[in-house]
Amino acid sequence: MAPHFQEVVGIDISECQLEEARAVTGFNNITYRKGTAEELPFPDASVDLLTAASAAHWFDQQRFLLEAGRVLKPCGCMALLGFADNFRLHYGSCGDRLTDICDEFKKVLLPYTSTRVAVANTKLQELYTAIPFPDKERIECIPLKQQISVRNIVGFMESFSMYQALQRAEPDAATALLQRTLDRFLKEMGVTSPDTLMEVTLEYFCVLASKPE
């Protein structure tokens, strides 16, 4: 967004996320602040675009929508994006088996899975319905295919909130699950290097809305 706007403010409740973001330098018009989507540090009718990536399923929907209505300028836009957790892996002829390994990983994590993950998997249906602006649209499937190393797909799975919950509850079991998943990927692919590339397909969704004039 930096090249397209005079001022960009990134907000997250997590100091760790903000540290990661601040480590990316070179954009003088971006600042970061600790805060929440439900209490935004902006005056009324001052924001052109309010956007959130893979985060809106965590928000208190009613309070967030009220806050969005307050801070957006007339004709200002809201764009919320994310992805469902039905991603698929591809590598030679063993893609289905790699995807099965992911599904088994997610199954082990079911007891640790927040209901908020289900909200993301509905592609924000309820939040979309509750948006009070008449000009709105929900795009349910924007397919994205990208190359990713075995190491990084396992890193992606490690970042899941339900994996983090298991790690807090049972650190040894969590580490073993991750290692077992990495080993199974490599065995299925018939390779030894975690830097080997596979392909992942993700279904992104996007909720768009514009505040009336």
Question: Parallel, antiparallel, or unpaired for β 47-53 and 72-83?
Answer: parallel
Residues 35-94 close enough to bind ligand SAM by CB under 6 A: 36-38, 53-55, 58-59
Query: How far, in Å, CA of 8 to CA of 175, rounded?
Result: 38
Contact 192, 69 (CB under 8 A): no
Nearer to ligand SAM, 53 or 144 (CB): 53
Nearer to ligand SAM, 109 or 189 (CB): 109
Query: How far, in Å, CA of 6 to CA of 49, rounded?
Result: 12
Tokens read off for 94: 């063993």
Query: How far, in Å, CA of 18 to CA of 31, rounded?
Result: 10
105 is an interface residue for ligand SAM by CB under 6 A: no
Tokens read off for 9: 């403010």
Shortest separation between residue 193's beta carbon and ligand SAM, angstroms: 27
CA 170 from centre of chain = 24
Could you tell me which stretch among 30-38, 95-103, 148-156, 175-183 binds ligand SAM (CB under 6 A)? 30-38
The partner residues of 186 in beta bridges, in order of sequence, read: none
Shortest separation between residue 82's beta carbon and ligand SAM, angstroms: 8
**Binding residue for ligand SAM (CB under 6 A) from 17, 51, 167, 201?**
17
# chain residues binding ligand SAM, by CB under 6 A: 13
**Binding residue for ligand SAM (CB under 6 A) from 1, 2, 13, 75?**
13
Site for ligand SAM, rule CB under 6 A? 11-14, 17, 36-38, 53-55, 58-59
